[in-house]
């Protein structure tokens, strides 16, 4: 009896959280188009989210390109199809692996950072103080961060894809004696707009999801230092899950509209 009650309670809590998150997103869309606009804070957040994540995304992307190519080479060589490597790696990175891996890295770094930052602000009652002083904390803290993640993630993904392709090109050049020119020629021969456009649109949603969940978890942080850790942790977990759900929906829609 207690077990079933617990399940009901958890289900109820889950749907309540989904509903709360939806209201939170709705409030964001309401606040984002109304004055005053916090441009300075937006730029600062863009800098911290974009520039500060570039190194991590770049290193991850480079290693991703290297490893992906090294791991795929033997299989393709078995079929005598190593000449297909640039096309295969190019399409895989641009269409799927690049955006998803970059988004997951950013979910770990940015999502947890936002969750912890806002959580600690909530715990130390800074947000309450802002409300008392007449500043709209949602506009200043949430809208800027979600907008920054939404705008910066596509650019980070472009950097991540480019660096990953360079990593792959280096392996192909060293192992397969494929010139860089030939490699990128084959990559751009294989990639089409139907690969780039859905991936780019998808990356905006990834950014939005990272910012939204991170801000939501931090903004609704429970009292105490444990609450900050939980907010940070759950922001990463929920964001990662949400990223895969968005990815599935994006692939599904791209299949309908672009016939990939």
Partner 1 sequence: MVTMKKTASQKLKLGVFVVVGTLLLIAALYSIGNRQNLFGSNIKIMTQFSNVNGLELGNNVRYSGINVGTVSKIQMIGDNQIVVEMLIQEKIGKHIKKDAVATIGSDGLVGNMIVNIIPRESEKPPVVYGDTINSYSKIGTDDMLTTLNVTNENAALLTADLLKITTEILEGKGTLGLLINDSIMAKDLKLTIYELRKASTGASQAIIELKDIISSISESESIAGVLLSDSISGQKMKTIVNNLEQSSVEITEVSKNLNIVLKDIKEGEGALNYLSNNPDLVKNIDSTMNNIKQGTQRFNQNMEALKHNFLFRGYFKKLEKEKNKGSKN
- Among 133, 181, 193, 256, the residue binding partner 1 under the rule CB under 8 A is 193
- Does position 38 interact with partner 1 (CB under 8 A)? The reply is no
Q: Would you say 188 or 244 has its CB closer to partner 1? A: 188
CB 30 within 8 A of CB 143: no
Pick the piece of the chain touching partner 1 (CB under 8 A) from 29-37, 48-56, 59-67, 120-128: 48-56
Single out the residue of 118, 191, 213, 228 in contact with partner 1 (rule: CB under 8 A): 191
Residue selected from 6, 12, 30, 44 as contacting partner 1 according to rule CB under 8 A: 44
Q: How many CB atoms lie within 10 A of CB 52?
A: 13
39 belongs to the binding site for partner 1 (CB under 8 A)? no
What phi and psi, each to the nearest 5 degrees, are found at residue 124?
A: -85, 10
Q: Binding string, 195-234, against partner 1, x = CB under 8 A?
A: -x---x----------------------------------
Q: Binding to partner 1 by residue 255, rule CB under 8 A?
A: no
The nearest distance, CB 186 to partner 1, in angstroms, is 11
Q: Do 116 and 228 form a contact (C-beta atoms < 8 A)?
A: yes
The least distance separating partner 1 from the CB of residue 184, rounded to whole angstroms, comes to 8
Distance CA 29, CA 45 (A): 18
DSSP label at residue 35: S
Total site size for partner 1, rule CB under 8 A: 21
Give the per-residue contact string, 127-166, with partner 1 (x = CB under 8 A; - = no): ---------------------------xxx-xx--x----
**Which residue, 131 or 189, has its beta carbon nearer to partner 1?**
189
| Long-range contacts from 232-237, C-beta under 8 angstroms, 24+ separation | 232/112, 232/113, 232/115, 232/116, 232/119, 233/112, 233/115, 234/115, 235/107, 235/111, 235/112, 235/114, 235/115, 236/107, 236/108, 236/111, 236/112, 236/115
C-alpha distances in angstroms, 206 versus 15, 74, 106, 239? 22, 33, 9, 9
By beta-carbon proximity to partner 1, the closer residue of 155 and 169 is: 155
Residue 229 tokens read as 């850790």
Upstream peptide bond of 220 is cis (omega within 30 degrees of 0): no
Tell me how far, at minimum, the Cβ of 158 lies from partner 1, in Å. Answer: 5
Q: Tell me which residues touch partner 1 (CB under 8 A).
A: 40, 43-44, 46-47, 50-51, 54, 154-156, 158-159, 162, 188-189, 191-193, 196, 200
């Amino acid at each position: 009896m207690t077990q079933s009650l617990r399940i009901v309670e958890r289900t109820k809590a889950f749907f309540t959280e989904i509903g709360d998150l939806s209201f939170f997103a709705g409030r964001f869309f309401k606040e984002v188009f109304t004055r005053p606009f916090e441009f300075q804070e937006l730029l600062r957040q863009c800098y911290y989210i974009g520039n500060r994540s570039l190194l991590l995304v770049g290193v991850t992307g480079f290693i991703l390109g290297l490893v992906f190519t090294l791991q795929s080479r033997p299989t393709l060589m078995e079929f005598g199809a190593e000449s297909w490597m640039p096309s295969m790696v190019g399409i895989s990175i641009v269409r799927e692996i690049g955006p998803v891996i970059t988004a997951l890295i950013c979910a770990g770094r940015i999502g947890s950072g936002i969750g912890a930052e806002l959580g600690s602000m909530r715990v130390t009652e800074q947000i309450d103080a802002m409300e008392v002083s007449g500043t709209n904390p949602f506009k200043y803290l949430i809208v800027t961060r979600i907008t920054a993640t939404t705008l910066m993630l596509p650019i980070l993904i472009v950097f991540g894809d480019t660096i990953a392709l360079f990593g792959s090109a280096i392996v192909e050049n060293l192992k397969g004696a494929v010139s860089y020119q030939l490699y990128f020629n084959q990559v751009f021969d294989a990639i089409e707009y139907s690969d780039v456009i859905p991936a780019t649109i998808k990356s905006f949603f990834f950014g939005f999801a990272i910012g939204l969940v991170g801000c939501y978890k931090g903004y609704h942080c429970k009292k105490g230092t444990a609450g900050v850790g939980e907010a940070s942790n759950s922001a990463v977990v929920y964001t990662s899950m949400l990223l895969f759900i968005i990815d599935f929906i994006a692939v599904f829609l791209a299949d309908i509209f672009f016939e990939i």
